[in-house]
A and B are shown apart, each in its own frame.
Chain A
Amino acid sequence: QKEVEQDPGPLSVPEGAIVSLNCTYSNSAFQYFMWYRQYSRKGPELLMYTYSSGNKEDGRFTAQVDKSSKYISLFIRDSQPSDSATYLCAMSAFRGTSYDKVIFGPGTSLSVIP
């Protein structure tokens, strides 16, 4: 079993739809959770990060973490064609004095159709 699993898609939605992207993980030590967006032929860029369980909102984006279920989500409201990209979840475990290396999921490809 991989440490972080993510539905690869591709996911295709009409403009204005609400998008739900999800990841599951197996390591209960993960405490720092991130979502990255990667456009074609570009490096990943950090969208949001959050610690432990709960919700965090930033504009049209909401990150949700459920540690009891080992499940994280990213919601995109009012999706736009410019949101078309691959979305990567990533997480890290705390190792005493600092966080361990970042583990990425395989990514979900999203297309928002005008």
Chain B
Amino acid sequence: GIQVEQSPPDLILQEGANSTLRCNFSDSVNNLQWFHQNPWGQLINLFYIPSGTKQNGRLSATTVATERYSLLYISSSQTTDSGVYFCAVGGTALIFGKGTTLSVSS
């Protein structure tokens, strides 16, 4: 099956810093989504991005499908950005990576 690897596993930032999270996957996919799980456990869909670049406020994502990786950029981080960021790939059914745990302190 498809393998999904996320890096780094943990990230600690000061408020206002920028960060880049990476997702590598082992096979061609037609579905790639980024999710944020907040400290209360709720999962929020951030992006559907099997290729190209999208932006939503301080967050943006880029997927290079031919090289099988995706990047999630967080600019001017805030404490509310803390939580776990998951990349998930596949088709109708998604395979999740193990996530990147982000801690933003004020």
Do A and B originate from a single complex? no
Question: What is the interface of chain B, defined by CB distance below 8 A to chain A?
Answer: none
